[in-house]
Amino acid sequence: MFSHGRHRRNDTAWNFRVPPEERDGRMKVSLKLYEGKAMQGLLIVDEDMDCRKQMASMFIESGYNVIVTNSVESALSGILKKTAQVVLLGTKFDEFTAAELIPLLKQCNRKLTIILIAAGTSLPLSRKLRSEGIFYHALKPVNAEDREEIRQAVQCAFESVRLQLA
């Protein structure tokens, strides 16, 4: 029913699913209406390519409109264009840390829901990030249970977004 697309621009991989009747040749990422529901935009920002691929695959299979990048520039672009309502954010990319990037992302979109994926974060830093407005903090996934925890956090985040829009 869905067609998978993959487009590369400037070392940034954009993965997405668009119904065949809505493909326009350019294969751009956008929020499309399908069967009366808006596709849910999920942005995955992480330097770890294996983690990005694993997460993207899991969420594409779950029906999300997934954008994958390791670039702060691409992340900001996706947020400003409002193609993503939820962000899975790693801890470091380019020259920025998550602590520096979260306030910037929130300035671009105050209603953005951010899930931080971090291997180890100190308690003071974790408190600071929560005060900046992260929705959830999870450890980097190493097994099926960890991936399920993140899948549930994303599902809950989209439910929260839906309730905010209602």
Higher per-residue pLDDT: 108 or 28: 108
Does the pLDDT of residue 148 top 60, yes or no? yes
Higher per-residue pLDDT: 105 or 120: 105
The whole-number pLDDT of residue 39 equals: 61
The whole-number pLDDT of residue 36 equals: 35
Higher per-residue pLDDT: 108 or 129: 108
Q: Which residues contact 34 (CB under 8 A, 6 or more apart)?
A: 19, 22
The whole-number pLDDT of residue 105 equals: 92
Q: Which domains does the chain have, with CATH numbers?
A: 3-165 (3.40.50.2300)
Shortest CA distance to 137 belongs to which of 98, 105, 79?
A: 98
Q: State the pLDDT confidence band at 64, using cuts at 50, 70 and 90.
A: very high
Calculate the average pLDDT of the chain: 78
